[in-house]
């Protein structure tokens, strides 16, 4: 394998990522043990850190798939270190998704790993690279809901259940949005290699506004209801109910008041 992909520094996990994981672990422990004087703050930090970790893994999945598909330049760009600061557009990949979680409770997909597509041969490889990111979100959702679908909630504190429920909602929304075949999203990247050259040229200008268009559509009540009905159906299939997601978001938005006032008990 070429040297560019084998240098240890290209694959060493970034201290930035490890720091984010440490925040996730410590705040997750604080939520579990009810150590924090303000449970909502602990939930906020835990879910936000876990969300950023999932974003890093999402981009890593794209990069790793590209590396094994022929783009040996990936390593030198820092994408294999899981460092969110190495992304082409850190604002799009990390900052905006976190802001939209805070404001709207939606797992807005990011994405700014620059892949040299010309190095990759084969339509299936191109499709797999695009699909790898949202598949990571789907896997993250399955993992964080394991206590629910395994019926292993005995001993899991209520607030921690809420946090997992809300985190699962973010992962499911991110996976669904990312898989939409809209220019600029991973779903379009999956189907693009199978389209004719003429269609790709016509669609290309819309890649810059695809994500914004999708988000604008979600403000339409009828579209919003259909979207979240689908999200709720998937979450129910994973064993997560409306109470967990609603109360998880209530604790996450601790600045809006005590969740207990919204019928979300924190103990028992």
Q: Which residues of 21-60 are buried (b: 16+ CB within 10 A; e: fewer)?
A: bebbeebbebbeeeebeebbbbbbbbbbbbbbbbbbbbbb
- The span from the first CA to the last CA of the chain, in angstroms, equals 56
Picking from 5-9, 44-48, 112-116, 167-171, which range would have the lowest pLDDT averaged per residue?
5-9
The pLDDT, as a whole number, for residue 109 is 65
**pLDDT higher at 195 or 91:** 195
Q: Is the pLDDT reported for residue 175 higher than 70?
A: yes
The pLDDT, as a whole number, for residue 91 is 66
Instruction: Quote the CA–CA distance of 83 and 99 in Å, as a whole number.
Output: 19
Question: With pLDDT > 90 as the criterion, what percentage of the chain qualifies?
Answer: 58
Q: Is the pLDDT reported for residue 208 higher than 90?
A: no
The pLDDT, as a whole number, for residue 90 is 63
pLDDT in tens, 210-246: 888 888 898 899 999 999 999 999 999 999 999 999 9
Identified catalytic residue from 59, 192, 204, 260: 59
pTM: 0.90
The pLDDT, as a whole number, for residue 141 is 97
**pLDDT higher at 77 or 103:** 77
**pLDDT higher at 32 or 205:** 32
**Structural tokens at position 55:** 């974003």
Query: Active site includes 59?
Result: yes
Q: Is the pLDDT reported for residue 84 higher than 70?
A: yes
Q: Which of 229, 206, 207 is nearest to 218 (CA)?
A: 229
Instruction: Quote the CA–CA distance of 201 and 86 in Å, as a whole number.
Output: 29
Q: Is the pLDDT reported for residue 2 higher than 60?
A: no
Helix, strand, coil abundance in the chain, percent, nearest 5: 75, 0, 25
Picking from 37-46, 64-73, 98-107, 145-154, which range would have the lowest pLDDT averaged per residue?
98-107
């Amino acid at each position: 394998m070429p040297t560019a992909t084998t240098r240890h520094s290209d694959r060493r996990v970034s201290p930035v990522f490890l720091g984010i994981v440490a925040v996730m672990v410590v705040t997750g422990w604080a939520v579990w043990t009810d150590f924090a004087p303000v449970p909502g703050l602990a939930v906020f930090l835990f879910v936000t850190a876990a969300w950023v970790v999932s974003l890093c893994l999402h981009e890593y999945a794209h990069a790793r798939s590209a590396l094994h598909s022929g783009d040996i330049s990936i390593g030198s760009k820092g994408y294999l270190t899981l460092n969110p600061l190495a992304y082409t557009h850190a604002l799009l990949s990390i900052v905006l998704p976190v802001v939209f979680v805070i404001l709207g409770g939606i797992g807005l997909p990011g994405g700014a790993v620059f892949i040299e597509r010309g190095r990759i041969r084969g339509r299936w490889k191109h499709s797999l690279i695009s699909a790898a990111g949202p598949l990571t979100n789907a896997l993250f959702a399955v993992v964080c809901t394991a206590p629910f679908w395994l019926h292993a909630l005995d001993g899991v504190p209520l607030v921690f259940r809420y946090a997992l429920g809300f985190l699962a909602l973010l992962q499911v929304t991110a996976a669904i949005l990312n898989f939409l075949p809209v220019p600029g999203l991973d779903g379009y990247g999956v189907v693009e290699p199978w389209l004719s050259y003429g269609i790709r040229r016509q669609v290309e200008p819309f890649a810059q506004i695809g994500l914004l268009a999708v988000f604008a559509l979600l403000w339409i009540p009828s579209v919003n209801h259909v979207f979240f009905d689908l999200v709720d159906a998937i979450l129910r299939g994973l064993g997560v109910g409306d109470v967990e997601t609603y109360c998880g978001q209530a604790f996450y938005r601790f600045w809006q008041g005590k969740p207990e006032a919204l019928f979300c008990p924190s103990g028992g």
